[in-house]
Amino acid sequence: MKRYTLIFFLFCLTILNFSCKQEGVEIRGRHLYADGERFRINGICYSRGGAGSYAEDIALLKEANINTIRTYTVINDIDELNAFEDAEIKIIMHLNENDFEDYVTEFKDHPAILMWEFGNEFNYHPEWFENDINNWYKKLEACATRVKQLDPSRPVTSAHGEVPAIEVLKACPSVDIWGMNLYRYDNNVPAIYEFAEHSDKAMYISEAGADSYNKKKNKIDEESQALANKKIVRGISEEFNLCVGVTLFEFCDEWWKAGNDSIQNVGISAPNSSGVPYDGSADEEYWGIVRRDRTKKLTFNVVKDLYSNLQNN
């Protein structure tokens, strides 16, 4: 009897070990897997824009069927990380390329974290790297190598402005999946094809979308924002075999970008943003799917319906 008990125990232990190996996040070819299941990023770029609370935001994110947020700074609050995990919302966690080891060591086992990300279209700013952008790519490769030593259970990504050149990909082999910030009016699919032509690595669209102020009309235009976001997300979603998904830009209006923080300002452009639909102007304080007070714009329900359909397919 004891012999059979031992055999049964060893069998259970084998099954447990196999299950544990299935946990975590990994890249297989062009596809992303989380806990053994193929994962589609139905996401949003996320910061609180100087207002709101994570509990309030999580409720809205869940309502919009968003399963992933992409941050621009680290989240240090363990209660906040736990709240995202409880809501089944994954996090593409932005890391400071000059100070990340302690953070990764502390939070590397947190199940809410989907990927580690370095840089946000730093390729547009060689002045940050002694006027030689190759210094950034060397830094990125070193960071990716180090973070994978600290946490081999998650992929490393970088949000590149537009499609990275072949030389960039060769310079950063330790980047597992590339993000691309794309502003090509309402159709980013050609960029997906361009990437796929010269790389077999995984990709996702780390920024894309439209703001709700129309410079041509000189007024708020939520209808155009909703239409553009619908076309953008739908186009990207149809290329799931090539592209893991999208983190739409962005969750809420950020009043701090273009002037007086206490009012919403028109203006301020971003690098390579002439393709912003439909006026070619990036009015930086009008990009949210919700307003600063968390009331919903027209595009909120567009995103909600699109991501709902993608969840069910």
Query: Residue 167 pLDDT > 50, yes or no?
Result: yes
> What are the tens digits of pLDDT across the range 231-265?
999 999 999 999 999 999 999 999 999 888 899 99
Percent of the chain with pLDDT over 90: 85
Predicted local distance difference test score (pLDDT) of residue 23: 64
> ω before 101 within 30° of 0 (cis)?
no
> What are the tens digits of pLDDT across the range 169-179?
999 999 999 99
Average pLDDT, rounded, for the chain: 92
The predicted model scores a pTM of 0.91
Distance CA 31, CA 202 (A): 6
Phi, psi of 180 (to 5 degrees): -130, 125
> What are the tens digits of pLDDT across the range 8-27?
444 444 333 333 333 689 99
* 3-class DSSP string for 47-72: CCCCCCCHHHHHHHHHHCCCCEEECC
> What are the tens digits of pLDDT across the range 34-62?
999 999 999 999 998 888 899 999 999 99
Q: Which residues pair with 181 in a beta bridge?
A: 161, 207
